[in-house]
Structures are given as C-alpha cells and as structure tokens.
Amino acid sequence: MTFKPTLAELAADLAAGRTSSLSLTQDCLERIEDPSGEGRKTFLHVDDSAVLAQAEAMDLLRSSSAAPSPYAGIPISIKDLFDIAGQVTRAGSTVLANRPPATQDAACVARLRGAGFVLIGRTNMTEFAFSGLGLNPHYGTPLNPWGRAEGRIPGGSSSGAAVSVTDAMAHAGLGTDTGGSCRIPAAFTGLVGYKPTARRIPQAGAIPLSTSLDSIGPIARSVACCAAVDAILANESPPDLTYRSPAHLRFAVPTSFVFDGADKDVVAHFERSLQRLSASGARVEEIDIPELATIPTINAKGGFSPVESYTWHRKLLETSAESYDPRVLSRIQRGATLSAVDYIELIAARKAFIAAVERRIDRFDALLMPTTPVIPPRLAALESDEDFFKVNGLVLRNPAVINLLDGCAISLPNHEDGEPPTGLMLACRGGLDSQLFRCAAAVEGVVREG
C-alpha cells in the first residue's frame, strides 16, 4: 500500500532533504498517467512540463533557503472551477471548452502558488458543481477507492479533488462547498474535508454556483492538513492545534432531521464515536433544533442555487442548453421561475434561520452530526433520474444545513479499516473557524483510535 503522508510530514522531509519537490511531483505524475488507475477520469488537464518546472523552481528556492513556505514544492490539485493563468476553466463542462484561457490565477490559487505549492493539475467535478454525487457524463466519473470494483461513486461536486488525494496523485486538493461539495467526497473516501466561513476566502476567479452559499476549502488527509491549507487560502496564521483534551469540550447533537433515512452503518459509526467522546470526558448533549425541519419550506421554490446559477448561465443557455448535463440543466432552469419577491423572501427566511439556530447552539463548542446519512452508493444505482435526484437530495441534506447557516464545518473519517466509509461532521456558526479546527483536532484521534 502506498504511504500517504500528511503535509507536515512532507514539509519535514523536504526541509531535511529526505525528498525533493521534483521527486514528489514525478511520483504524482506517474500515478496520474498510470493506465490502470483513475487518473484519466480524475484530472481534466495536466501539463507535465509546466508542473515539473514548478517543482524544479521550488527545489532551487529551497536550496537557497528561500522557500516561500514550509509546504513549498508539495503537489496540490485544483478543482476545474478555478482560473489558472494560461488554462481554460471548463467547470467540468463541454460548454466552456472553447472559452479563452484565463489571464490570471483565481485569488485562492494565487495564494497557493505564492506559498510554493505545485499545481499538479485540474480535477474533474460535477458539471458546474451542481450535485453532491460527483457524476460527470462528459468526462467520466472517477471511482471511489472503497468498492471501486463495484463502481462506487466518490461524492461531489469535488469528486476529482478527493480521488486525487486518496490515490496519491496529489497531497491535498482545492475544492468548493456550496452544499457539502468538500465534505461529501471527504466522507465518502475516508478523507478530511473543510467548509470555511465563506467570507474568509476570496472567490474571485472561481465560477459561481450560488454566490450566497459558495465556500472554498481543502480536502486532505488530516485536520492539520486542512488547517494549514485553509490558513493560506484565508491569508491568516494557522490555528494552534496543540492537543486539547476532549474533556473540556461540549458538543450538541440534533435529535431530528439529520438522522432521517440514515443507513445502519452511518448510525452505528456515529453512535460509536459519541461513546468514545463521552468516555474521553467530552460532554455530549442531544438538543432539539426545530428550525432544521423548516429547511424544506425555506427551499420549497428551489433555494439559492437555481436562481443564482441561472443568473450566471442565462446567456449561455440561449445558445448552448443542449450541451449541458440534463440533470444540471433542469435545476439551473428552475431558477428562471423564481420572482424577485420570492428571492427577497428567501433572503429574509435565511436570516431568521441563522439567528434562531445560532441562539440554540451558542453555548456549545460545536455541533455533531453524520456528514451524510448514507454510505457511497453504486454508480449503477443512479441511472434513473428518479433515483439520482432522490439520492442527491439525501446526500446533500446534512452538510447543506451549515451552508444555509453561513457557518463552518469539517468532516472527519468516522469508520474503521474494512468498514464502509462514513463521515463525522463538526460545525460552528460563522467566524469560529479556529475554534472548530481546535475541536476537530481533539476529536480526530479519539474517534479513530477509540
């Protein structure tokens, strides 16, 4: 089995001269190009010569003690939603294939480049990020490493970002999260996925799905990995993740909504984690959050994503509607039916929802819930539109709560080796990202080691 190190371990190896950026990058490129692997479906664009030049440049800077950060030279993948100077941003679609190359990096990509990360390639995704399952009929769907022979899906929309990390084709992935698109693929593939408070990270140069809900975050192998990338993206100092006993933490578990329709594996893994946290001294309290039951009513006319994506796509739809994935197209077109009054009422309903939920959770360090109520389904089980939309809605339900709340959330692996992958989600209200990372770091070892 391939050793899959954390960013801190890679940074230490680079600093000690035990490896080089060129070596790390060549290893990743070999895995991407392996015809027996998922590289061809995971990446939509890789420029080997440019990538190797980046690695060589980082090695030269490090040899002169001028590396821009401890992570300089580590390969990271970039979701196809972000501009990279000189490359075409297709957003997992064929509709944009002929658009001009970007003239500059997206703001968050520029920050990663400035820290010295090697931009290994552009990863596959659900077209225009409009699904939590990760399917792409244009470029294929990269398969989950768990149950790959059965054709299990990776989750989305940041599907390629997750598979690039699980298969060691990159050591972290840049994704987006509008309703769970970092956390869902992380939960489905045994990784850590982070959704920050949206306003912390600039979204310039990223194709929007919903300007009200979009967030930009990492998928990686540990809480510390995600915290390190998040700090660079937000241009902040990384949080202090010095060990904190769970005995000082107080968690809230919603008693309804987030468990409806949950698989037995999801429930069993979640209950085991609660038992381990309680045994470690953490205080875990079940609470009623009745506002969660109002979410279907708030989103009854489609919610933010259809109307805000329709605004961006309206001109393209006039000329290229037939080129869209029909399952994506139908949801974007729904945005045309929302009136200005409907939209203003939606904004007001969200504001009231945020205020009410924040009052209920304010006395806790974080919320705990399953990231998704189901384990990764088989691709073959999603062939009909009815099955697709039913499963998609179920998969998005829990993580989307936090986007509507304008909060921050993280998904941790919540299963033992050999078990179906599940995720444990921790969440806080907006602006408490450092607090959330500290909680997640304390929880991470407890739930995986017992």
Residue 119 token pair: 């931009």
- The alpha-helical segments, DSSP class H, found in 34-142 are 39-42, 48-63, 107-114
| Complete DSSP assignment for 402-417 | HHHTT-EEEEEE---T
**Complete DSSP assignment for 155-185:** -SSSHHHHHHHHTTS-S-EEEE-SSSTTHHH
Instruction: Take residue 19 and report the two structure tokens written for it.
Output: 């490896």
Asked whether the beta carbons of 397 and 369 are under 8 A apart, the reply is no
Query: Hey, how many other C-beta atoms are within 10 angstroms of the C-beta on 345?
Result: 14
Q: Residue 60 and residue 72: Cα distance in Å, rounded? A: 11
Q: Residue 181: is the preceding peptide bond cis (ω within 30°)?
A: no
245 is catalytic: no
The overall longest dimension of the chain from CA atoms, in Å, is 61
CA distance 354 to 348: 10
Write out the two tokens for 25: 């990058």
Burial of 377 (0-12, 13-18, 19+ CB in 10 A): buried
Give the sign of the dihedral formed by CA 422, CA 428, CA 430, CA 432. negative
Q: Is 384 a catalytic residue?
A: no
**Is there a catalytic annotation at residue 210?**
no
- Alpha-carbon span 37 to 34, nearest angstrom: 5
- Residue of 41, 79, 131, 222 with catalytic role: 79
Give yes or no for a contact between 233 and 108, defined as CB atoms under 8 angstroms apart: yes
Please give the Cα distance from 343 to 414 (Å, whole number).
Answer: 37
Q: Enumerate the active-site residues.
A: 79, 157, 181
